Structure 1
Amino acid sequence: MTAAWTDEARAVEGRPDAQEEAVALYTMHAAKGLEWPIVVPINTMTGIKAPDSAVTDRDSDTFYCPVFGVKPAGYEAVLDAEKAELDRERIRLWYVAATRARELLVLPRLDAAQSKSAWISLVDLSLAELPALDLSHLPEGMGAAAAQAVNAQTRDGFAAEAAAILDKRQRLVWLAPSRDESHAGPVLTPEAVEIWAAGSDGQPGDEGPAPSVQGGRERGLILHKLLEEVLTGETDPGKAALADRARALILEIGKPVMDDPAQGLNPGELAGCVVRTLNLPEIAELRPSLVPELTVYAAVDVEGIEQATVGIADATSFDSDGKPAVVIDWKSDVQPTAATIEHYRAQVRAYLDMTGTERGLIVMVTSGQTIEVQASA
């Protein structure tokens, strides 16, 4: 409030919420344009504030101010003009106050002598000739006040109610396997590494050299996009059409098209990955029933906490009854570690548990390896 007063902040004066049977306090200035059934001007016997010693000539905008008691030439005339203007303004305010009542205007009529500098002395209201306010028709007493509700709540009662509310609270935890791509932080792929071949145990193998390919997040996004568009029929599965689409996607994300896959994104290498992946025996068998980018939800109660899981399976195969049969997760890693593969297994297993599917496939699109994943026991 002090800061608002110091900064001369303007605010609308308080108005009652109820329009009837309510008392509103307004200054004469704020009452302009408003009206009420009954209006009672108060504090009208108070004195009028004298103008400041420093005044401004309203006609010439000249500032006059006494200095150490010495008044400048013309000061008295300007001061008298200012007093007269303030008197006229106050009379206009009295007109506002006296015309706000629709039904009854109540003016105070006191026995004390009126000061010439009082507000009520500014205009001749003929108070002596006005009839006194007749209140005989009103009841003498104010009437009994309505009984107030008693708060009988005790500390123990409050604690019991708070505990009951706490017991009814539902706690919800959201899990999103699709966004969890790392067992210990982001899975970062070296800029130039060798493609690994499948080992007999479903883990990376080290036998024999392979062409160099640069991995990365952008490469994975484009491969996922190409596989999705082939499964939806948006893009022709031929290698030439895939290469053209890969080139357009590379340019769309603002990356350069490279001739050497080891140096960056190469349309031919990306198209070859997609063609090779779709021709894998396991994928070719499931392809007629594959649905890409399937959003799945599940909710379970874990120790009183509702655990909701939401994710997007890269591709899902459905059986003849319309039930999910196989969940597929495309992975674009160039040389994943054994720990990363295990993390991917857990991720796919989460989708199997959500959909009630028994079988899952991790498809390493770079190497062409497929890894079987079984649902939780």
Structure 2
Amino acid sequence: MARHRGQAERAHANVDLYLSLTTAFAVRGLRAFAETMTAAWTDETRAVEGRPDAQEEAVALYTMHAAKGLEWPIVVPINTMTGIKAPDSAITDRDSDTFYCPVFGVKPAGYEAVLDAEKAELDRERIRLWYVAATRARELLVLPRLDAAQSKSAWISLVDLSLTELPALDLSHLPEGMGPTAAQAVNVQTRDSFAAEAAAILNKRRRLVWLAPSRDESHAGPVLTPEAAEIWAAGDDGQPDDEGLALSVQGGRERGLILHKLLEEVLTGETDAGEAALTNRAKALILEIGKPVLDDSAKGLSPRELAGCVVRTLNLPAIAELRPSLVPELTVYATVEVDGVEQAIVGIADATSFDSHGKPSVVIDWKSDVQPTAATIEHYRAQVRAYLDMTGIERGLVVLLTSGQVITVNLSLTAVDG
């Protein structure tokens, strides 16, 4: 329809014909059909085109150009009183390929003769089109005989069809009428009834809103609340110093993406958990995102620092205990109805631990911030709590990869249906 606009009947018929060829391959299958069609195309096998008028009493509208090569039982040329289009002022001599164009109203030498020749050639082409139109009918050609005077520039004036000498179309054998017209229903709808029907339709409409905790969205509102919580304290013994890390590690989105990717590949078994393998993989990931590989982590992405961060995280007691059952990148869904609107909540947990019965028990969210604020950490808490509410899991962990701090999050009192 987009290609042929109002003349798509022929293309539709060819599509129907092509699809009808598949019936013979119901048992042999799609591969056999594809191979047969490929062989026919390669061998340039000729095939009969589809017939848009194959359906009984079908009516097709075609231009004279598009009707070439087609036939119908009955053909009725229409719009023949339309004036023909005059040739453009810029023309080309068909014999010498010389271009003629008036410039500021001044016509070049020989322009009139070339213009007359072009008009004569266009008239001959239109007469040939009339021949095409008049020979498309297998049984009956119906030429409209209009009472209006014919213009010399109209299509009907290009050829002498002797309309006055042709007999009128005999329709006496057809029934005079098409039968009694069915009584039309009276529209009794009032403004009030229309408003009531519109309100009924509106009430039956089902609305769905998608929310993502990672974008500070939840069924209860933004997950980032203004409440402050005392959660950022000095690290435990053996963990890197917070202020020292802020000075020696440059954070950023790219660093977070690579850390998440490395942890995912370790948990899936794609990458070895050894520091050497992680360093090589981190270097490859840095090059893939088009960033320079540096030795100084304070100036950019350092493969050694990224690998060391992953190794420290996996060796944390809370993570090492859960590592055998951790599954990375687990998508969770939940729905809840709020004020008559269904809200679908979707999120991806960085890692999820399953118990011996195959039930999820812990949700883990990796965070790569170098020195997060208290409000940011509270946001992370709320995000993990939203995952817990969606899944019914009772415990979650926010793991700050850079500092090695592990923050425990518990299930809230209310949860949605997961």
Whether the TM-score (by the shorter chain) exceeds 0.5 is yes
What is the CA deviation profile of residues 329-369 of structure 1, one whole-angstrom value per residue up to 9, with x for unaligned ones? 11111111111111111011011111111111111111111
CA contact (8 A) 1:363 1:370 kept: yes
Residue 290 (structure 1) aligned with residue 338 (structure 2) = no
Q: Report the Cα distance in structure 1 between the residues aligned to 2:262 and 2:308, rounded to whole angstroms.
A: 11
Distance in 2 between residues matched to 1:233 and 1:83, nearest whole Å: 78
Tell me if structure 1 keeps the 8 A contact 2:230–2:374: no
Q: How many residues align?
A: 333
Quote the residue 2:244 is aligned against.
210
Alignment partner of 1:219 out of 249, 255, 269: 255
Instruction: Give the one of 354, 364, 368 matched to 1:328.
Output: 364
1:72-151 equivalence runs, <5 A:
99-104=135-140, 122=160, 127=165, 136-140=172-176, 143-151=179-187
Partner SS, residue 322 of structure 1: coil
Segments of structure 1 that go 5 or more residues without pairing to the other structure are 1-10, 64-71, 111-117, 185-199
Structure 1 counterpart of 2:37:
none
1:373 aligns to what?
409
Which of 238-247 and 85-94 deviates more? 85-94
Q: Deviations over 1:67-107 (max 9, x none)?
A: xxxxx99x99x98x999989988876776666454434567
In structure 1, the partner of 2:350 is 314
Cα distance in 1 between the residues matched to 2:118 and 2:274: 94
Higher fraction of helix: 2
Q: 1:89–1:363: structure 2 CA closer, same or farther, 3 Å change rule?
A: closer
1:268 aligns with 2:304: yes
- TM-score normalized by the length of structure 2: 0.62
- Post-superposition Cα deviations, 1:173-218, rounded to whole Å, max 9, x if no partner, equal 111223559988xxxxxxxxxxxxxxx9531449986252211111
Aligned partners of 1:333, 1:351: CA distance in 2, in Å? 20
Q: Distance in 2 between matches of 1:247 and 1:173?
A: 40
Structure 2 letter corresponding to 1:210: G
DSSP-derived class of the 1:203 partner: coil
Equivalence for 2:194:
158
Contact 1:183 1:339 in 2 (8 A): no
Residues 246 and 147 of structure 1, relative CA distance in 2, 3 Å threshold: same
Cα 1:246–1:156 shift into 2, 3 Å:
same
CA contact (8 A) 2:223 2:382 kept: no
Local SS of the residue matching 2:244: coil
- Displacement, 1:314? 0.9
Any stretches of 5+ residues in structure 2 without a counterpart?
Answer: 10-51, 101-108, 147-155, 236-240, 414-418
CA contact (8 A) 1:297 1:308 kept: yes
What is the TM-score with the length of structure 1 in the denominator?
Answer: 0.68
| Structure 1 Cα separation of the partners of residues 281 and 79 of structure 2 | 85
Tell me the alpha carbon deviations over residues 268-296 of structure 1, each in whole angstroms, 9 at most, x when there is no partner: 22222111111111111111111111111
CA distance 1:140–1:335, shift in 2 (3 Å): closer
